[in-house]
Chains A and B, each alone.
Chain A
Amino acid sequence: MYRYDEFDASFVSQRTDQFKDQVRRRLAGELSEDEFKPLRLMNGLYLQLHAYMLRVAIPYGTLNGRQMRKLAHIARTYDKGYGHFTTRQNIQFNWPKLEDTPKILEELAEVEMHAIQTSGNCIRNVTADHFAGAAADEIADPRPYAEILRQWSSLHPEFSFLPRKFKIAITGAPHDRAAVQVHDIGLQLTRNDAGETGFVVYVGGGLGRTPMIGRQVRDFLPEEDLLAYSEAILRVYNRYGRRDNKYKARIKILVHETGLEDLKADIEQEFEKIRFGVLRLPEEEVRRIEAYFAPPPLEVGSATSAAVEARRASDTAFAQFAAHNLNPHRVPGYTSVTLSMKPVGGIPGDASDAQMEVMADLAEQYGHDEIRISHEQNVILPHVKLDDLPDLYDGLVAAGIAEGNAGLITDIIACPGMDFCALATARSIPVAQRISERFGAAERQAEIGELKIKISGCINACGHHHVGHIGILGLEKKGEEFYQVTLGGSANENTSIGEIVGRGFSSEEVVDAVEKLVDTYLGLRSGKEETFLDAYRRLGEEPFKEALYGAA
């Protein structure tokens, strides 16, 4: 994985010292809260309902055992013994003290981590497919490009005060696991007829109060133009994006209001001015960065493992885990394993310090010291030998992170909601917990098959509810929590925004409503291979609407 060079190390260290001094000045009264707030936000420090919250960047969701162990140490030493993995592949600590944050940032810098640009109107952590570098269907590893974008966007002087935040996602496989079409810029690696690497470029996707699917602006952007073209997009956005209304300030609104063709022309015009300048990517530099992401030495083995098959035959929980939590690896004999942060009835995305230690140990022992965080709030060991799977699984069981539910109905995305978040209008986590308990039986989950439920506690949609097969949005109505349900959303290569099918539900009603939807699907699906989403797309909203609200 990428290692800091001298420049990176001194840059992060300078920022840590700078923030230390800013905290000192704040506590001494030399800085007011109004002056300090933008500074702390630039370092990922929010003030939430109960305490400060520190959001730490995990670039493109990649980390190693040493880094995970440091996160465990921070959770234990400066927080309340746990961390929360987010839908942007980051980790949040919910209880740090202001006075401790400089020390936390120093500790993070020791393992080449930081919290820079995890907040504010700047280019945020670039996210990527969590199976990057391992997936069988991958064209190329997207992380070298994510790293190049990270270097370009870190403290980019022109883009530190954008109209609003800006999120970039990249996938290296045709099957999009990085939700690229709902990002400000979405990049899909592709190859042209000559075999050259390039990108399909989408602009103006996003969720929040105005969900929009990104529009394709290039079907093949050559590799060498990645930074110049990104800079051109950002320049056009920085110049024309609205600053008069926070809710209309994202690039998706600019795309919508300007019109795709005009905006594309603006981008291309800007691009022509700079494409042969300093941002043209030299091939040797791409290959140099790529070398950091060279796969570990993996011996080609058999596509099946006798050890796995034997265990599968004798252990139904293991069989369920093996059926759902493995992703095909490009090297026969290996697999990518999802460690579920969604125990039945648990809090989506939470991991205790002890669990983080175990994940670090297991990654070192069985996973070539590589760990990924997924935007679905799970943890991945991308390179595990099939023969090691039973032993790895035993380690996961002991740590309580062996739920065999990846992609199933209890693998729910949920934002922190009103239990933590100052912006929330309703709670998310308790709804996720109750749904998880209702459908927790292993056979029932397996019978239902792939079903992505995503829950947000406010219109800002951190829980990605718009792209849930079943989406749930928590609002406040007459002082009570109230949940709006959307159906048919998806964030893969066939991205769609879920549709509201009718009036919302009280907190007491919402789990029953989900059950009615699931039962309706089970009754109408053409067979087990037809997923909830496929069935919804085939049948339309009527039968589901009728199940929820009765015949019209």
Chain B
Amino acid sequence: MKVITANRLLNGDVVWLAGTGDWVERITLAKVFEGKEAVAEALAQGVAAEDRQEVVSVYAMDVTVEDGVIVPVRLREKIRATGPTTHPDLGKHAQAVSA
């Protein structure tokens, strides 16, 4: 299982590709892709978004779904999804609290 991730060109924010084709700032809103073809198709969407100057550094990352929640497999992606573990006041965990 994979989701497609990138950074927004304008501000560098970590984003994921949603089912709507939008880039969203919460991994919980991302669309999960299964199978090589689906992932390749989603990555192609990502590259098109790069060409439109929306995002940069598009790639597919491994996830699992636990109780309906998308969880990144690698620690690096867990940290990207939540923000620096050293700064609970900054990054996405802070946004989640203030939202």
Contact = CB atoms under 8 A, between A and B. Distances in A.
A546 interface: no
Contact of A50 (B9, B52, B74, B83): B83
Contact of A49 (B10, B11, B53, B80): B80
Contacts of A47: 7, 12, 56-57
Interface in A392-441: 418-420, 424, 426-427, 429-430, 433
Interface of B: 7, 9-14, 50, 52-53, 56-57, 73-76, 79-80, 83-87, 90-92
Given A49-B76, A97-B11, A429-B86, 11 more contacts: A29-B52, A49-B79, A50-B80, A50-B91, A51-B13, A80-B90, A95-B90, A96-B12, A98-B11, A418-B75, A479-B74
Given A49-B80, A479-B73, A419 B12 contact: no
B9 A27 contact: yes
A98 B79 CA distance: 22
Contacts of B76: 49, 418, 424
A28 B57 CA distance: 18
A419 B56 contact: no
A519 interface: no
> What's the dominant secondary structure at chain B's contact region?
loop
A212 interface: no
A257 interface: no
Contact of A33 (B50, B75, B84, B90): B50
Interface of A: 26-29, 33, 47-52, 80, 95-99, 347, 418-420, 424, 426-427, 429-430, 433, 476, 479-481
A29 B53 contact: yes
B84 A419 contact: yes
Contacts of A479: 73-75
Contacts of A96: 12
Contacts of B79: 49, 418-419, 427
B48 to A, nearest CB: 13
A26 B80 contact: no
Contacts of A26: 9, 53
A98 B76 CA distance: 23
B86 A347 contact: yes
A365 B33 CA distance: 61
A427 B9 contact: no
Contacts of B91: 50
A33 B12 contact: no
Q: 9 closest pairs, A vs B, by CB? A: A51-B12, A419-B84, A52-B12, A97-B11, A429-B86, A419-B86, A29-B53, A33-B56, A49-B80
Contacts of B7: 47, 51
Contacts of A29: 52-53
A261 to B, nearest CB: 44
Given A26-B53, A80-B90, A481-B75, A419 B85 contact: yes
17 contacts: A27-B53, A33-B57, A49-B14, A49-B76, A49-B79, A50-B12, A50-B13, A50-B83, A80-B90, A97-B10, A99-B10, A419-B79, A424-B76, A433-B86, A476-B75, A479-B73, A480-B75
A159 B58 CA distance: 32
Nearest to B58: A33
A491 to B, nearest CB: 25
Contacts of A480: 75
Given A47-B7, A50-B12, A50-B91, A420 B56 contact: no
Contacts of A481: 75
A347 to B, nearest CB: 6
Given A26-B53, A419-B79, A479-B74, A51 B85 contact: no
A461 B3 CA distance: 31
B6 to A, nearest CB: 10
Contacts of B13: 50-51
B3 to A, nearest CB: 16
Nearest to A479: B74
B58 to A, nearest CB: 10
A420 B9 contact: no
Among B10, B73, B84, B85, max chain A CB count under 10 A is at B84
Nearest to A417: B86
Contacts of B9: 26-27, 33, 98
B91 to A, nearest CB: 6
Nearest to A424: B76
Contact of A27 (B10, B12, B80): B10
Given A26-B53, A33-B56, A49-B76, A430 B86 contact: yes
B21 to A, nearest CB: 19
B93 to A, nearest CB: 11
B87 A419 contact: yes
Contacts of B57: 33, 47
Contacts of A419: 79, 84-87
B78 to A, nearest CB: 10
Contacts of B74: 479
